[in-house]
């Protein structure tokens, strides 16, 4: 069966009024997002906005030592490229594909042409940016005040919210890099969750067995971020894709 892809799989694009969506549609380019792909580099001017559909992208801050940690992640609820319409042109973070999938790429010019019309696109992008800033703030506080086990639960639950299954193709080494901790710490935290019966794992894959149990182990940051996203986008009415998908 041929997998159908549609811009409506991205929540921001699906929330646009028909007229605004139709103006953007000719410039939306379906692109594969492979695990580890670098979509944007720190300090480089953004050329495109990216609207993930089935992929998840990690925004990471890189230190001079080469170490990094995740400051936010973006899936089908959002976009990459807020610097295009906020006027900063560049950001301090780099964007790396965390979970392989697809998304839609949009050149800066058509995005800004529609944004400058001051319609729904502008309002949606500004409200999404507010939600992204909240996520960044909570991620920093979480890393400072909560245990590694709680942070791992938050990361797992946030990732699951954007995926159709409970199976994550992700190594503990990559998780350690995103959380900015040693791999041994992630191994211990994952082992504790496995012993509780919340997850199982083998090399390159983590499967969540009991999501409700993860919710009992996670810190409040997960619920706060989820609630803020829902509050900011609660009145959005998604268009229905009558044709069932766009290849």
CATH match for 147-218 among 3.10.300.10, 3.40.50.300, 1.10.10.10, 3.40.640.10: 1.10.10.10
Which own/partner pairs from 114-120 qualify as long-range (CB within 8 Å, at least 24 positions apart)?
A: 114/20, 114/23, 114/24, 115/85, 117/20, 119/17, 119/20, 120/15, 120/16, 120/17, 120/20
Residue 110 φ/ψ, nearest 5 degrees: -65, -30
The domain spans of the chain are 7-143, 147-218
Q: For each of the chain's 247 residues, which pLDDT tens digit applies?
A: 345 899 999 999 999 999 999 999 999 999 999 998 999 988 888 899 999 999 999 999 887 777 778 889 999 999 999 999 998 777 888 999 999 999 999 999 999 999 999 999 999 999 999 999 999 998 888 888 999 999 999 999 999 999 888 988 887 787 887 787 888 888 899 999 999 999 998 888 899 999 999 999 999 999 998 888 888 776 666 654 433 444 3
- Residue 55: predicted pLDDT: 96
What is the fold, at CATH topology level, of the domain defined by 7-143?
A: Jelly Rolls (2.60.120)
pTM: 0.88
């Amino acid at each position: 069966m041929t997998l159908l892809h549609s811009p409506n799989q991205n929540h921001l694009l699906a929330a646009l009024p028909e007229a605004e969506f139709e103006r953007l549609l000719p410039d939306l380019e379906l692109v594969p997002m492979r695990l580890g792909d670098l979509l944007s580099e720190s300090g480089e001017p953004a050329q495109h906005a990216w609207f993930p559909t089935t992929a998840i992208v990690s925004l990471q801050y890189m230190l001079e030592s080469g170490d990094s940690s995740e400051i936010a992640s973006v899936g089908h609820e959002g976009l990459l490229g807020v610097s295009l319409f906020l006027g900063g042109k560049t950001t301090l973070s780099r964007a790396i594909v965390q979970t392989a999938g697809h998304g839609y790429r949009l050149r800066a010019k058509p995005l800004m042409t529609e944004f400058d019309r001051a319609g729904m696109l502008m309002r949606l992008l500004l409200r999404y940016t507010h939600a992204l800033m909240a996520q960044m703030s909570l991620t920093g506080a979480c890393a400072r005040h909560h245990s590694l086990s709680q942070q791992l639960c938050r990361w797992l639950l946030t990732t699951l919210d954007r995926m159709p299954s409970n199976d994550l193709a992700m190594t503990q080494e990559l998780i350690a890099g995103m959380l900015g901790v040693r791999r041994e710490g992630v191994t211990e935290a994952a082992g504790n969750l496995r012993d509780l019966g919340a997850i199982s794992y083998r090399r390159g894959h983590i499967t969540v067995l009991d999501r409700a149990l993860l919710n009992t182990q996670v810190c409040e940051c997960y619920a706060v971020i989820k609630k803020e996203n829902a509050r900011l986008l609660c009145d959005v009415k998604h268009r229905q894709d009558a044709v069932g998908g766009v290849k």
